[in-house]
């Protein structure tokens, strides 16, 4: 685990080694999992390398980078924070889970963050599949979209598998769709009717897909 600093050449070398070979950034040098959630305003991807981040800022005029992994002791985290500071990009932490029922308090915090940050914004987790999918789906709902539109952000095209334990994220939006869509707005349902414990109890993941996600791909 990288827990050093980037103030020296040795520290930077250790950060890159940890990022590339421990955090699997070697795959992300060419695979970006980039997608426009709201063109011109909100984008998503896997954890960007500094060079990718600079190119995205130049191309899209990004103002804010939202880290959905939370503050982590790893080389990728240190490198992207340092790059954001050098570029003048606001860096925000918004940690989400990928295998648990979405927490109401975290969604409310994200909604507050979304209402005050500067756009365009780029969101990332590690692979850009599950937590990035959840955050993107929430953005769709914040913008007045439907549950069906939100669920498109949780797709196998981004590496998200509904049949695994990460499918509880889909179940969250499906529950709103079944219980309240068309009756009350999403945020009102979240505040007054959403039952996190009941969603956990009702959700059952497919064993094969769960094995693929957790043991083979070793996703967070």
- Residue 2 in any domain: the answer is no
pLDDT tens-place string over residues 82-130: 999 999 999 999 999 998 999 999 999 999 999 999 999 999 999 999 9
Is 4 inside any structural domain? no
Within a domain: residue 1?
Answer: no
Does residue 3 belong to any structural domain of this protein?
no
Overall residue count recorded for the chain in this entry: 220
Containing domain of residue 157, as a range? 9-216
Dihedral sign (CA 100, 66, 32, 4): negative
Chain-centroid distance, C-alpha 55? 20
Residue 132: C-alpha distances to residues 22, 44, 158, 208 (Å): 20, 6, 9, 23
- pLDDT tens digit sequence for 167-182: 999 999 999 999 999 9
Residue 146 maps to a domain = yes
- Beta 90-93 vs 121-124: how paired, if at all? unpaired
**What's this model's pTM, rounded to 2 decimal places?**
0.92
Number of domains into which the chain is organized: 1
φ, ψ of residue 51 in degrees (nearest 5): -65, -45
> Is 47 a domain residue?
yes
* Domain containing residue 34: CATH number: 3.90.190.10
Q: Does 124 fall in a domain?
A: yes
Q: Is 146 helix (H, G, I), strand (E, B) or coil?
A: coil
pLDDT in tens, 16-31: 899 999 999 999 999 9
Residue 210 lies in a domain: yes
């Amino acid at each position: 685990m990288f827990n050093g600093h980037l103030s020296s050449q040795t520290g930077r070398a250790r950060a890159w080694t940890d990022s590339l070979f421990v955090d699997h950034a070697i795959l992300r040098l060419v695979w970006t999992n980039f997608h426009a959630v709201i063109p011109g305003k909100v984008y998503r991807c896997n954890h960007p390398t500094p060079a990718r981040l600079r190119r995205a800022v130049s191309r899209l005029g990004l103002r804010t980078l939202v880290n959905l992994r939370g503050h982590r002791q790893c080389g990728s985290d240190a490198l992207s924070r340092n790059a954001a500071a050098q570029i003048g990009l606001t860096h925000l932490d918004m940690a989400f889970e990928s295998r648990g029922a979405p927490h109401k308090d975290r969604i409310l915090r994200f909604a507050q963050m979304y209402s005050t940050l500067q756009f365009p914004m780029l969101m990332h987790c590690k692979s850009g599949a599950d937590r990035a999918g959840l955050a993107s789906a929430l953005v769709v709902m914040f913008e007045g979209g439907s549950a069906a539109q939100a669920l498109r952000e949780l797709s196998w095209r981004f590496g998200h598998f509904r049949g695994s334990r990460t499918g509880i994220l889909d179940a969250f939006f499906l529950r709103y769709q079944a219980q309240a869509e068309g009756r009350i707005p999403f945020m009102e349902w979240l505040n007054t009717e959403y039952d996190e414990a009941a969603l956990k109890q009702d959700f059952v993941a497919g064993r094969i897909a769960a094995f693929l996600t957790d043991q083979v791909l070793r996703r967070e």
